[in-house]
Amino acid sequence: MTRPHLFPSRVEIDLDALGNNARCIKRLAGDSVAVMAVVKADAYGHGAPQVARVALANGADMLAVANLAEASQLREAGIRAPVLTLSLVPPEQSQLARALDLRVTVFDRDLAEQYLSALGDNREKLRVHLKVDTGMHRLGLSPDEAVAMARRLRAAPSLQVEGVYTHFAAADEDADYTKKQLATFNHALDEMRAAGCLPRYIHAANSPALLSWPGSYFNLVRPGVLLYGLRPLHDSPNMDGFQPVMRWTTRVAQVKTLPPGSRVGYGHAYTTRREETLAVLPVGYADGLRRTPRTWRCALLHGERAPLVGRVSMEKIIVDVSHIPGVQIGDEAILLGAQGDSEISADEIADWLGSNNYEVLTTIAPRVPRTILSLTR
């Protein structure tokens, strides 16, 4: 286990900003719509138990995780709120899921039958949410299968259908396709309603839909990246008031001035063109900074951008500070977040990497300590 006080870099988590974002989400959703905060992947790298507590204290009603391991972590932390697993819970784990009072996603007919077989005729039911594939073509029952499953499970001895949901493929990019998905979902809901098997909770709105598609709110929304203060897209609307929660910081390990023609780092990937002052930062690909050609482009020192030079090492990078006077050992360097009037955002890093801001957050290695900045809420 990493000893935070001994590690040379850290990820700062601002729980006040997180609470603010949860309240912003609740205001967008409205009083009649419940909020399911998505805290999978260790709450996008922010620390699931602490994020869950703050979200629940600031307007969230439920939580969503990927799997039973993540759900168990929340229960072990004393969190009793409803938790939905979004991905596979193997049938042999269904009894444990029921014992932990979890909600499990049913996305396949055979999986549902295997749950029924594994759970037997026990009167204590496992609550499930049916996932409808309306066009994402990943996990999910077809609309017809979902309606049939809702009917099938009405009298099931060990499963109770508590919810039904779908997931948008491009709510932030393709309005026409999102309209088709929403229409398909509504048609399935109409059939369930007519058959008398419409579940209590209906949800479709992820973060981009929460910002742009109020017709997809139903009675439960499922925000993820918004909770952490990030935009689903650069031009996402209705982002006023949201604040980034994460900041990644390290310290200067060494400063050296090299003459022109000095070859720097593994493979001599960089050669100084003039006399240059370089700073070594004790962070590298073991911490989540990619070594691939598309990696971080700079860090912030003294509020200025210091370009990355040479290759990323396992636990070191080198930045050019020739234009930044007075840099010395121990100075703070920012890899993600603000310093003074300057900022390196997750969106900008995602552009550098050819990825998205979700990946930027979730690939910072667990060995980098997460430090709480504030707990007032």
The answer on 141 and 51 residing in a single domain is yes
**HEC string of 186-223?**
HHHHHHHHHCCCCCCEEECCCHHHHHHCHHHCCCEECC
CA–CA separation, 57 and 23 (whole Å) = 9
User: What does 45-81 look like in DSSP terms, one character per residue?
Assistant: HT-HHHHHHHHHHTT--EEEESSHHHHHHHHHTT--S
Among candidate residues 170, 197, 228, the one where a domain is terminated: 228
Assigned domain for 94 exists: yes
Active site residues: 40, 266
CA angle 100, 225, 296 (to 5 degrees): 120
The answer on 113 and 27 residing in a single domain is yes
* Tens of pLDDT, residues 77-126: 999 999 999 999 999 999 999 999 999 999 999 999 999 999 998 779 99
Could you tell me if 48 and 65 are in contact, meaning their C-beta atoms sit under 8 angstroms apart? Answer: yes
CA 95 and chain centroid, separation: 28
Give Dmax over CA atoms of the chain in angstroms: 79
2 pLDDT tier (thresholds 50, 70, 90): low
Residue 93 CA neighbour count, 13 Å, CB half: 16
The answer on 265 and 224 residing in a single domain is no
* Tens of pLDDT, residues 299-351: 999 999 999 999 999 999 999 999 999 999 999 999 999 999 999 999 999 99
The answer on 263 and 223 residing in a single domain is no
pLDDT of residue 377: 41
Assigned domain for 172 exists: yes
CA–CA separation, 28 and 359 (whole Å) = 25
Assigned domain for 114 exists: yes
Residue 286 confidence (pLDDT) above 60: yes
- What is the three-class DSSP state of 257? strand
Residue 158 confidence (pLDDT) above 70: yes
pLDDT of residue 12: 97
Residue 234 confidence (pLDDT) above 80: no
CA–CA separation, 289 and 270 (whole Å) = 18
Domain total in the chain:
2
Assigned domain for 361 exists: no
Q: What is the mean pLDDT of residues 144-155?
A: 97
Residue 16 CA neighbour count, 13 Å, CB half: 4
Assigned domain for 274 exists: yes
pLDDT of residue 122: 76
* Tens of pLDDT, residues 165-198: 999 999 989 999 999 999 999 999 999 999 999 9
Among candidate residues 175, 198, 228, the one where a domain is terminated: 228
- CATH label of the domain that carries residue 84: 3.20.20.10
pLDDT of residue 241: 94
Assigned domain for 294 exists: yes
The answer on 319 and 195 residing in a single domain is no
Choose among 121, 128, 120: nearest CA to 97: 128
The answer on 86 and 224 residing in a single domain is yes
Among candidate residues 228, 262, 279, the one where a domain is terminated: 228
**34 forms bridges with which residues in the sheet?**
220
375 pLDDT tier (thresholds 50, 70, 90): low
Q: What is the mean pLDDT of residues 149-161?
A: 95
DSSP class of residue 125 equals: P
Residue 58, amino acid: N
The answer on 333 and 194 residing in a single domain is no
DSSP class of residue 173 equals: T
pLDDT of residue 236: 75
CA–CA separation, 290 and 22 (whole Å) = 31
pLDDT of residue 190: 99
The answer on 288 and 216 residing in a single domain is no
Q: What is the mean pLDDT of residues 275-282?
A: 98
The answer on 254 and 118 residing in a single domain is no
pLDDT of residue 106: 99
pLDDT of residue 5: 74
Range of the domain at 139: 15-228
Assigned domain for 117 exists: yes
The answer on 111 and 66 residing in a single domain is yes
Residue in this structure with the two tokens 């994402």, named with its chain if needed: 136
* Tens of pLDDT, residues 17-59: 999 999 999 999 999 999 999 999 999 999 999 999 999 999 9
The answer on 327 and 291 residing in a single domain is yes
Assigned domain for 1 exists: no
* Residues contacting residue 298 through CB under 8 Å, at least 6 positions apart: 305, 306, 307, 308, 319, 344
CA–CA separation, 127 and 339 (whole Å) = 46
Tokens representing 337 are 């977040």
CA angle 158, 160, 165 (to 5 degrees): 140
Mean pLDDT, the chain, rounded, equals 96
The answer on 290 and 219 residing in a single domain is no
